[in-house]
Amino acid sequence: MNLAVNNSSEKLYTNVYADAESASKKVAQDIADLIRSKAEKGENAVLGLATGSSPLKVYAELVRMHKEEGLSFKNVITFNLDEYYPMDPSSEHSYVYFMKKNLFDHVDINMENVNIPSGTIRRKEIEEYCATYEAKIKLHGGVDLQLLGIGRTGHIGFNEPPSNEKTLTRMVTLDPITRKDAAPGFGGLENVPTEAVTMGVGSILNAKKVIMMAWGESKAAIVNEMMNGEVSGQVPATYLQLHNNVAVFLDEGAAKELKTETLV
């Protein structure tokens, strides 16, 4: 088992694994345990889900657990963090497409329980739509477990700097760095949307538990800032220091600038 116990020198509970695959399996196991414990009590598990490269291995492991171990998603309600705007849900660049391809099409989730911000809502209706999205989260008792990745700007969801810790679901303008990072997948920077609909920092902090994942040395500097920097809207991920139930999962590369050591 390639797990590093948390080191008290960090401000957030830290789990460092030798690689992203082993870390992702542990995250998936935590999610499965939540789903099963809720099912045993006749309750729904409300998951906040992320896209991008960080959760891919987690979703793959959840699919395996469904197919090989009988993990059911019938009691799962999901709320995704964000979506590009404008974005047709049938586009291969949409997060609807991403979630179906990597998770939803392979498990027994009721698609009526799936919630992903719309990239097609009329601009004049966005404010009302975002308020309704927040209300639906509250209707289901809030998010039990929120998955997160972190962008090079320190964004969580698409909450780019500067972002306030009280922000809720809203329209945002994407940082040029975020768009540049997304450009290869879109076939060029000119094809990357400049806006997105995202759950806010406050929406994320309202989750009962947060799991933050980061893989690779390219994330090491921003992970160190998130963990040990001053809480600031200039690095929105630092707001996680204000939450009382956050677990950070890293591989050795992403943990390179931290004091926590990997135990093999």
> Among the residues of the chain, which ranges form H helices?
20-40, 56-69, 95-102, 126-139, 176-186, 201-205, 220-228
Cα 112 vs. chain centroid, distance in angstroms?
A: 20
Q: b/e per residue, 131-150, with b = 16+ CB within 10 A?
A: eebbeebeeeeebbbbbbbb
H runs (alpha helix) in 41-169 = 56-69, 95-102, 126-139
Find the catalytic residue in 10, 160, 225, 252: 160
For the chain, how many residues are written?
A: 264
Q: Using alpha carbons, list the distances in angstroms from residue 21 to 1, 51, 189.
A: 12, 16, 30
The verdict on whether 160 is a catalytic residue reads yes
Hey, what long-range contacts does 259-262 have (CB within 8 A, 24 or more apart)?
259/7, 259/9, 259/10, 260/4, 260/6, 260/7, 260/9, 260/10, 260/14, 260/16, 261/4, 261/7, 261/16, 262/2, 262/4, 262/16, 262/17, 262/18
Can you count the helices (H) and strands (E) in the chain? 7, 11
Catalytic residue numbers, as ranges: 160
